[in-house]
Amino acid sequence: MKITKIIVLGCMLILGVLFLYSCKKKSEPASSSSSETQMTQEQLKAAVAEKSEEIKEIVDTLKADVNTSISEIKAEIEKLNVDQLRETALQYKQLITEKTKQIDNLNEKIKGIALTELMSEESMALRKELGDLTTGFDALKERFQLYYNKLKEKGGDLTGLSLTNK
């Protein structure tokens, strides 16, 4: 639901900017120089591109996360087309890859701790952080699998969605 609202708001923002530009262009006197008009068009294009990118980042952030419940995802998945399923699965894959790197780095730190320091506060904090990362990792994988399975069921392109290391 949130994603749809954000997409609609983003589209409305872009259409509003384009509408304002088209109104301004009609009301400008014919004597305005083409360089001023060109500069205005370039500024408008830059502003629209910037806002579009901001909206895309917000939407991307909301699509793939561990806070969305499984039941919400299952309901949302039914409404998505193959391209939307693939895009969201790719986002989850990217987050899973990032979490894997974080977990690997933390495991290396923990392995480097001397036996005499295994019960230290630092060691305990690292192990707690590892546990939290692992929990988040498992939640991401579970959500990714829902999108992956639905994409596979609909006959979508699964290229590049494998989570196994090759």
CA 125 to chain centre: 29
Return the amino acid letter for 14.
I
pLDDT of 36 strictly over 60:
no
Cβ 124 vs Cβ 110: under 8 Å:
no
DSSP 73-129: HHHHHTT--HHHHHHHHHHHHHHHHHHHHHHHHHHHHHHTS-GGGTTSHHHHHHHHH
How confident is the prediction for the chain on average, in pLDDT? 76
Stretch 26-49: mean pLDDT: 58
In the structure encoding, which two tokens stand for residue 63, read together?
């699509």
Q: What is the pLDDT of residues 79-105, one digit of tens each?
A: 999 999 999 999 999 999 999 999 999
**Do 129 and 151 touch, CB atoms closer than 8 A?**
no
Residue 40 has pLDDT above 80, yes or no: no
Q: What is the pTM of this model?
A: 0.57
The pLDDT score that the predictor gives to residue 39 is 56
